[in-house]
Structure 1
Amino acid sequence: MKFTRTLIALSAATLMATSAMAMEPAEYKAAKDQISADYKANKQKCDALQGNAKDVCQKEAKGAEKVAKAELEARYKPSDKTAYKAREAKADADYEVAKEKCDDLSGNAKDVCVKDAKAAHVSDKENAKVARAVAKPADNTAAKQADVAEARKDAAAEKNEANYKAAKERCDALSGDAKSKCVDDAKRMHGQS
């Protein structure tokens, strides 16, 4: 997960650095063809695997393709919208892979894994929304600051809600007073009433 986040950060930095330079149509087509070829090669590697490992591999291949296409679009037509879509594609791809990995588990461990994946997804998507608000040009600095503050406030609330649900799911493995205390602690920790 740490490697994925580092890769995403590096990818975002590269995206921002290259967004100032628009691509030529021929470069765009060549890059698009390369993405398709990479996807086919990555998907073919999955054929040697079995069970959930194969499913995870396929989700990783499909996710990498979607992210690469979104990043390519952001380089070809640089804008706040395409940069946001690239961030969103990364968040969605990571989520799909994380959910698929949860299929190796069962019972409460699987439920916790799914909730953790969802919390990470919500966090990534909310971070993308904040980045979009920060990147938007504005005529009025005060209005932009208010928009960014509102985006950050909304993001914090969404993240807290998702993290609370994940924490509460962990409590389901407990019973009686221990479970009640766990739920109360989760509520307090994540600002739930």
Structure 2
Amino acid sequence: MNKFNMTAIAVAVGLIFSAGMMAQTMSKDDYQAAEATIADKYKADKANCDSQSGKQQDICIAAAKSNKNVAKAELEARHEPSAKHDYDVVVAKAEADYAVASATCQNKSGNDQDVCMKEAKAVETRIKADAEAELKVLNANKTAGKEYTETGMKEKAEMTEARQEAATDKLEANYAVAKEKCDALKDDEKDSCQDAAKMKYGK
């Protein structure tokens, strides 16, 4: 898994949402030209994968599809700037890295493969949860403003709930990774590992 890229996406979540609305819309001709470029790039990337085989080919194809999906999401965000399209870009990047990471995990076996998959999923979950919470908070802020009106209080409560949901999703993903790692152990050591995981994640 490209851990640097995943970390970069996580750090960029807030920055993307705050900067996205300042972007300029594209002309119809520029948009169509960009679409054609994305299609051509995907076709070339897939052709390059044909020279590979087995799991390496699977990883190559996953990367080609992922790059296309990210490029499309970024194009939509440039074409029609909005918080929702900024969110879609973050999600597309998280799903792209997960697709490549999960394909790479197939080079492993047994518990190592299971842990690899759970870790990849946990990173994707964390990024998407943060992005969703950021979008909800941004939308709630538009309504709430700075006034403590009845509507404003309701929106502020929704912001708190959004952050709590994100925290819960991330905790569950991290707990799944911890449990999977325990499965590689045996007997008392495994039991101790599972007890420690339950205590750490409040289970």
Question: Matched residue pairs, number?
Answer: 192
Distance 2:176 2:43 in 1: 37
Q: Which residue of 2 aligns with 1:161?
A: 172
Distance 1:104 1:3 in 2: 20
Q: Which residue of 1 aligns with 2:150?
A: none
1:74 to partner: Cα distance: 1.3
* Structure 1 residues 12 and 25: alpha-carbon distance in aligned structure 2, compared to 1, 3 A threshold: farther
Q: Does 1:73 align with 2:76?
A: yes
Q: Does the Cα contact within 8 Å between 2:20 and 2:83 map onto a contact in 1?
A: no
1:10 to partner: Cα distance: 6.3
Q: Does the Cα contact within 8 Å between 1:19 and 1:75 map onto a contact in 2?
A: no
Q: Does the Cα contact within 8 Å between 2:133 and 2:166 map onto a contact in 1?
A: yes
1:130-155: CA deviations, max 9, x gaps?
12123325232444433222111111
Distance 1:31 1:13 in 2: 24
Q: For 1:1-193, list aligned pairs within 5 A.
A: 1-5=2-6, 8=9, 17=19, 19-20=21-22, 21-136=24-139, 137-141=141-145, 142-192=153-203
Which protein, 1 or 2, shows the higher relative CO under an 8 Å CA cutoff with sep ≥ 6?
2
Q: State the TM-score, normalized to the length of structure 2.
A: 0.85
Distance 1:149 1:161 in 2: 19
Distance 1:13 1:130 in 2: 14
Matched to 1:104, the amino acid is N
* Structure 1 residues 155 and 81: alpha-carbon distance in aligned structure 2, compared to 1, 3 A threshold: same
Q: State the TM-score, normalized to the length of structure 1.
A: 0.89
1:62-90: CA deviations, max 9, x gaps?
00100110111111112222222222211
- List structure 1 segments (4+ residues) > 3 angstroms apart after TM superposition: 6-19, 141-145
* Structure 1 residues 152 and 12: alpha-carbon distance in aligned structure 2, compared to 1, 3 A threshold: closer
1:111-162: CA deviations, max 9, x gaps?
1111111111211210110121233252324444332221111111111111
1:7-39: CA deviations, max 9, x gaps?
645698578646421111111111111111111
Q: Does the Cα contact within 8 Å between 1:160 and 1:191 map onto a contact in 2?
A: no
1:57 to partner: Cα distance: 0.9
- Identical residues among aligned pairs (%): 42
